[in-house]
C-alpha cells in the first residue's frame, strides 16, 4: 500500500531526523499514531526469534522501507532525544541497514539496483524485523555497520602473520608448527601483541567450526589451503631439498593469507573461535580433519543434495540480482581457471628456461676456454657469467610468477567456490520455505476436509499442526530474507576485497617484473664494453 506512493526523499541530516516519522504520521495517520504509541512492544518483541505478532509490526516496517529505500543518505541518522531511544534504535537500524546496501548498489549507477530492496518490502513485510534481529544478535550492531560503510579501506587495527615454520617430532608423526603472531588494538583481545603455535590441522579445525556456524547464514567463509599428502610426506620423511622447502613456504604463505582473510571479515572476527585460535596457548587437537579437508568435505555433501534441487529451483524462482551475480561468478571462475593454467605453464617454462640458461652458461664458459684469442676468450667467459646471472633472474621471476600470481588465482578460485556455496545455501533456504508453504497448504486442505467430515478431535490436531506450520513458514521466510541480505552484503564485500586484492597483487607482480628488467639492463651494460674490447 505504501509502496505505491512516490515520495520525494526528505533531505535528511541530523536535525531533520523527524521528517520520515512525521511524514509517515501524515500519510497513514491512524496507524502512524498507533505505531508510535505502542512502539516499545513490537520493538522489544521483534528481538525474539519466533514472534507471532500479527499486523502491526508488518505495517510499520513496510512503511519504513519505502521511505528509507528511496533515500540513501540516511546513513548519518543519529539518535536524537525527541523520540524514545527504542524507536530511534529501530528506525536507525532499519534505515542504516537498507542504506548500507544502497550506497554500494548505487555505486553501480543502475536504477535496477533498487528493485531488490523494494521487492523485499513488497513480498516480505517482516524483513526489517529480521534485520533488527540480525543486527542485535551481533555484539556491537551499529558501530560495526558504521565501521563497514564508513571506512573505505581496511583501517583494521589488526595484523596477523604466520611465520617460523618448524618441524616438530620425527618420522610419520612429525608435523610442521607455525607461529601465528597477532598485533592489534581491538579491545576484545587480552593483549596488544601475542603469538601462539599452531599446526595445519588447527587451521582446518578453525575452518570447520566457522563453516558449521556461519555458512548457514550465507557468510562467505574463506577456505583454507588444501591438504597435500605428497607434500607433507616429503617433509615428514625429512627430505631436505628445495621442493619440500618450497612446499613449506607455499603452505605458510597460504595459511597467512587465509588468516588475514578471516580477520578481515567483520562477522568472523567477532566469533569466539577465531579469538581462541589467535590467543589460546594450547588448542585441543582438531579431530576429523585427518581424512578430508573442510572445504572439500562440505562441498561434497552439498553437491550431492543440490544436484536435483537445482533443476526445479531455476525454473520457478528468479531474482535478477542474485541470478546475475551467480552467472558472473561462474564465468569468472572459468576465466580464472584458464588464467591459472596459463600462469602455471609460464612458471614451468621459466623454470625450464632457468635450467637451460645455466647449462648454456657452462657451455659458453667451456667455449671461452678453448678460444685462443685472448680478448674473445675473455668476452665469452663474461657472456657465460651474464647468462649465469640471468639464470638467477629467471629463477626469481618464476618464484614471483608463482607466489604472487598463481597463488592469488588459486586462492580466488577456491573463494569463488565458497561464494557459490553461499548462493546455494540461500537457494536451499528458499526451497525449505517453499516446501513449508506447500506443507501448510496441505494441512489446510486436510483441515477443510475434516471440517466437512465433522471430526472434532482430529480437527483439533489439524488446527495445531496448521499453527505449527504457519510458524515454520514465518520462520523460514524470515530465514530466507535474512540470508538474502547477508549473502548480498557478503558478496559486495567480497567483490570489494577481490578488487583490492587483485589490484595490489598485480601491481606487486609488475613491480617484480620491473626489477628484473632493471637488473637485465645492468648486466648487459656491464657486458657491452667487454664485447667491444674484442680485437
Partner 1 sequence: MMQEGLDDGPDFLSEEDRGPRAVNVDLQTDATLQVDISDALSERDKVKFTVHTKSTLPNFKQNEFSVVRQHEEFIWLHDSFVENEEYAGYIIPPAPPRPDFDASREKLQKLGEGEGSMTKEEFTKMKQELEAEYLAIFKKTVAMHEVFLCRVAAHPVLRKDLNFHVFLEYNQDLSVRGKNKREKMEDFFKNVVKSADGVLVAGVKDVDDFFEHEKTFLLEYHNRVKDASAKSDRMIRSHKSAADDINRIASTLYTLGTQDSTDVCKFFLKVSELFEKTRKIEARVAADEDLKLADLLKYYLRESQAAKDLLYRRGRALVDYENANKALDRARAKNKDVLQAETSQQVCCQKFEKISESAKQELIDFKTRRVAAFRKNLVELAELELKHAKGNLQLLQSCLGVLKGDT
The binding site for partner 1 (CB under 8 A) comprises 328, 331-332, 335-336, 338-339, 342-343, 345-346, 349-350, 352-353, 356-357, 359-360, 363-364, 366-367, 370-373, 375-376, 379-380, 383, 495, 498-499, 502-503, 506-507, 510-511, 513-514, 517-518, 520-521, 524-525, 527-528, 531-532, 534-535
From the list 263, 400, 259, 423, the residue with the least C-alpha distance to 333 is 423
Q: How far apart are CA 102 and CA 71, in angstroms?
A: 9
DSSP state letters, 186-200: -TTSSSSEEEEEEEH
State the first-to-last Cα distance of the chain, in angstroms, to the nearest integer: 96
Q: What are phi and psi of 199, to 5 degrees?
A: -110, 170
Select from 379, 357, 355 the least CA-distant residue to 368.
Answer: 379
Bridge partner residues of 175 (DSSP): 168
- Are 141 and 149 a contacting pair, CB within 8 Å? no
Between the alpha carbon of residue 147 and those of residues 142, 358, 368, the distances in Å are 8, 53, 66
Q: Are 203 and 258 in contact (CB under 8 A)?
A: yes
Euclidean distance between CA atoms 57 and 474, whole angstroms: 14
Per DSSP (E only), the strands in 112-153 are: none
Q: Give Cα 180 to chain centroid, integer Å.
A: 21
| Greatest Cα-to-Cα distance within the chain, rounded to the nearest angstrom | 118
Is the CB of 104 or the CB of 211 nearer to partner 1? 104
Separation of alpha carbons 198 and 496, rounded Å: 30
- Convert 434-503 into a string of H (helix), E (strand) and C (coil): HHHHHHHHHHHHHHHHHHHHCCHHHHHHHHHHHHHHHHHHHHHHHHHHHHHHHHHHHHHHHHHHHHHHHH
Confirm if 339 and 409 have CB atoms less than 8 A apart.
Answer: yes
* Helix and strand totals (H; E) in the chain: 18, 3
- 373 sits in which H/E element: none
Burial of residue 131 (CB within 10 Å: 0-12, 13-18, 19+) is: buried
Angstrom distance (rounded) from CA 134 to CA 348: 49
Closest approach of Cβ 401 to partner 1, in Å?
A: 9
Helix segments in 317-406, DSSP class H: 320-370, 374-400
H or E element: which one contains 183? Answer: strand 175-184
CA pair distance 285, 258, nearest whole angstrom = 19
Amino acid at each position: 500500500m505504501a509502496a505505491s506512493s512516490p515520495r520525494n526523499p526528505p533531505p535528511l541530516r541530523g536535525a531533520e531526523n523527524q521528517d520520515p516519522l512525521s511524514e509517515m504520521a501524515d500519510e497513514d495517520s491512524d496507524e502512524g499514531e498507533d505505531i508510535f504509541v505502542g512502539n516499545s512492544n513490537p520493538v522489544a518483541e521483534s528481538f525474539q526469534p519466533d514472534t507471532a505478532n500479527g499486523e502491526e509490526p508488518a505495517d510499520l516496517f513496510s512503511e519504513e522501507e519505502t521511505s528509507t529505500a528511496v533515500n540513501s543518505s540516511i546513513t548519518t541518522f543519529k539518535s536524537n532525544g525527541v523520540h524514545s531511544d527504542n524507536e530511534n534504535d529501530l528506525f536507525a537500524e532499519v534505515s542504516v541497514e537498507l542504506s548500507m546496501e544502497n550506497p554500494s548498489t548505487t555505486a553501480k549507477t543502475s536504477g535496477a539496483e533498487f528493485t531488490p530492496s523494494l521487492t523485499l518490502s513488497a513480498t516480505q513485510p517482516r524483513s526489517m524485523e529480521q534485520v533488527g534481529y540480525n543486527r542485535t544478535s551481533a555484539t556491537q550492531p551499529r558501530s560495526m555497520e558504521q565501521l563497514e560503510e564508513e571506512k573505505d579501506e581496511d583501517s583494521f587495527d589488526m595484523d596477523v602473520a604466520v611465520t617460523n615454520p618448524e618441524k616438530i617430532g620425527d618420522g610419520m608423526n612429525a608435523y610442521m608448527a607455525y607461529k601465528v603472531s597477532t598485533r592489534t588494538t581491538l579491545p576484545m583481545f587480552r593483549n596488544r601483541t601475542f603469538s601462539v603455535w599452531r599446526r595445519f590441522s588447527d587451521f582446518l579445525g578453525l575452518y570447520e567450526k566457522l563453516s558449521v556456524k556461519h555458512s548457514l547464514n550465507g557468510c562467505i567463509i574463506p577456505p583454507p589451503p588444501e591438504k597435500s599428502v605428497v607434500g607433507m610426506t616429503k617433509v615428514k620423511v625429512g627430505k631436505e631439498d628445495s621442493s619440500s622447502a618450497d612446499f613449506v613456504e607455499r603452505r605458510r604463505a597460504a595459511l597467512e593469507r587465509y588468516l588475514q582473510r578471516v580477520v578481515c571479515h567483520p562477522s568472523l572476527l567477532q566469533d569466539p573461535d577465531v579469538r581462541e585460535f589467535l590467543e589460546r596457548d594450547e588448542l585441543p587437537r582438531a579431530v576429523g580433519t585427518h581424512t578430508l579437508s573442510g572445504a572439500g568435505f562440505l562441498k561434497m555433501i552439498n553437491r550431492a543434495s543440490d544436484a536435483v534441487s537445482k533443476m526445479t529451483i531455476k525454473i520457478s524462482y528468479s531474482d535478477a540480482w542474485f541470478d546475475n551475480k551467480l552467472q558472473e561468478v561462474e564465468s569468472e571462475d572459468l576465466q580464472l581457471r584458464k588464467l591459472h593454467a596459463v600462469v602455471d605453464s609460464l612458471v614451468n617454462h621459466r623454470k625450464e628456461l632457468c635450467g637451460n640458461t645455466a647449462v648454456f652458461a657452462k657451455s659458453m664458459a667451456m667455449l671461452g676456454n678453448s678460444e685462443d684469442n685472448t680478448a674473445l676468450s675473455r668476452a665469452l667467459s663474461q657472456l657465460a657469467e651474464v647468462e649465469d646471472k640471468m639464470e638467477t633472474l629467471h629463477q626469481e621471476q618464476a618464484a614471483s610468477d608463482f607466489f604472487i600470481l598463481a597463488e592469488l588465482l588459486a586462492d580466488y578460485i577456491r573463494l569463488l567456490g565458497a561464494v557459490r556455496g553461499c548462493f546455494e545455501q540461500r537457494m536451499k533456504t528458499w526451497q525449505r520455505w517453499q516446501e513449508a508453504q506447500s506443507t501448510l497448504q496441505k494441512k489446510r486442505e486436510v483441515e477443510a476436509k475434516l471440517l466437512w467430515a465433522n471430526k472434532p478431535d482430529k480437527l483439533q490436531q489439524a488446527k495445531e499442526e496448521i499453527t505449527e506450520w504457519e510458524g515454520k513458514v514465518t520462520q523460514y521466510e524470515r530465514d530466507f530474507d535474512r540470508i538474502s541480505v547477508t549473502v548480498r552484503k557478503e558478496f559486495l564485500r567480497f567483490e570489494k576485497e577481490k578488487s583490492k586484492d587483485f589490484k595490489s597483487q598485480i601491481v606487486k607482480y609488475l613491480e617484480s617484473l620491473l626489477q628484473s628488467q632493471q637488473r637485465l639492463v645492468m648486466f648487459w651494460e656491464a657486458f657491452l664494453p667487454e664485447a667491444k674490447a674484442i680485437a
